Amino acid sequence: MTRKTTNLAEIAGKIKKLAISVAYKTHSHHLGSVLSCLDILTALYFSAMNIDPKNPKKPNRDWFILSKGHAALALYTTLAERGYFDPELLKKFGADGSGLGGHPDKDCLPGVEASTGSLGHGLSVGAGVAWLAKKEKRGNRVFVLLGDGECNEGSVWETAAFAGHHGLDNLVAVVDRNRLQGFGSTDEILKMNLTDRWSAFGWSVKKINGHNLAEIAENLNQLPISPAKPNVFIAETIKGRGIAEWENKLESHYLTLGEEQYKRAISEL
């Protein structure tokens, strides 16, 4: 079911521009995390997923759960560009009383399937949806985006064991492998061989370049990787991708964009 993917780069550029613009104007944090995963979300929403922005709850849709909820702006801007709602709504990102938090709430905007924010929750919720869909032959697939730091959470591995045991081949995890977490590098803080780990839990594992849109889309359109096994893509990414002085830097998680940075980032796009 490969769809047209030739204009993905153009779409991704528009979403990044929107995300950077919203983050700058609303003085938002976590932009590094947003830019780390926007290419993945673009490939998901514009190539791989069976969705209908005019009918966000259609019964046989594919689900997306942003388990790394701190990248909410990536989800909001992708949904806006995909046509779920007017991008103007994002002017209220983080505003008093807006409902558009830095971590997404279920139904805060059309297309947001589940509330996330505490790490290690999204995969189990997604596994519940996938288990039921498979059992009832509903046809839904469930895509869950996790951070690599998030894989420290024990609950991730409870779900990994469950999904492996039940052979949930309609469950697709994508790990945003930017190699940075709260206080530094993932290798320094809690080193994990993610390929070996996920394999040991019975998942099909594939490494991809998380910024090569054609490669991401091609892989996401050839699912399952192998029958009767859940799927995980370890997507090698760059935190802060597109903002030169923030790339692969921890501060991209915490700092807000200055005017000069903002102008340069937009012009470089």
Determine the Cα–Cα distance for residues 242 and 16; give it in Å rounded to an integer: 9
Q: Does 85 sit near other proteins (CB under 8 A)?
A: no
Q: Does 111 sit near other proteins (CB under 8 A)?
A: no
Q: Does 145 sit near other proteins (CB under 8 A)?
A: no
Among 135, 187, 191, 193, binds other proteins (CB under 8 A): 135
Determine the Cα–Cα distance for residues 43 and 49; give it in Å rounded to an integer: 9
Q: From 10-18, 75-83, 123-131, 204-212, give the range in contact with other proteins by CB under 8 A.
A: 123-131
Which residue, 15 or 123, is less far from other proteins as judged by CB?
Answer: 123
Q: Can you tell me which residue has the tokens 């103007």?
A: 88
Give 23's strand partners.
none
Q: How many residues bind other proteins (CB under 8 A)?
A: 29
Q: Label the pairing between strands 142-147 and 63-66.
A: parallel
Q: Does 231 sit near other proteins (CB under 8 A)?
A: no
Among 5, 28, 33, 159, binds other proteins (CB under 8 A): 159
Q: Does 262 sit near other proteins (CB under 8 A)?
A: no
Residue type, 61: R
Q: Does 232 sit near other proteins (CB under 8 A)?
A: no
How many residues are listed for the chain in this entry?
Answer: 269
Q: From 160-168, 172-180, 196-204, 226-234, give the range in contact with other proteins by CB under 8 A.
A: 160-168
Q: Does 174 sit near other proteins (CB under 8 A)?
A: no
* DSSP assignments along 17-51, one per residue: HHHHHHHHHTT-S-HHHHHHHHHHHHHIIIII---
- DSSP class of 169: T
Determine the Cα–Cα distance for residues 108 and 105; give it in Å rounded to an integer: 5
Determine the Cα–Cα distance for residues 58 and 138; give it in Å rounded to an integer: 11
**Tokens in use for 7?**
């204009």
Which residue, 38 or 127, is less far from other proteins as judged by CB?
Answer: 127
Q: From 127-135, 195-203, 217-225, 258-266, give the range in contact with other proteins by CB under 8 A.
A: 127-135
Mask for 33-72, x = binds other proteins (CB under 8 A): ----------------------------------------
Query: Per CB under 8 A, which of residues 89..108 are in contact with other proteins?
Result: 105-106
Report the largest interatomic distance among the alpha carbons of the chain, rounded to a whole angstrom.
53
Q: How far apart are the first and last CA of the chain?
A: 30
Binding site residues, other proteins, CB under 8 A: 105-106, 113-115, 117-118, 120-121, 123-133, 135, 138, 154-155, 158-159, 161-162, 165
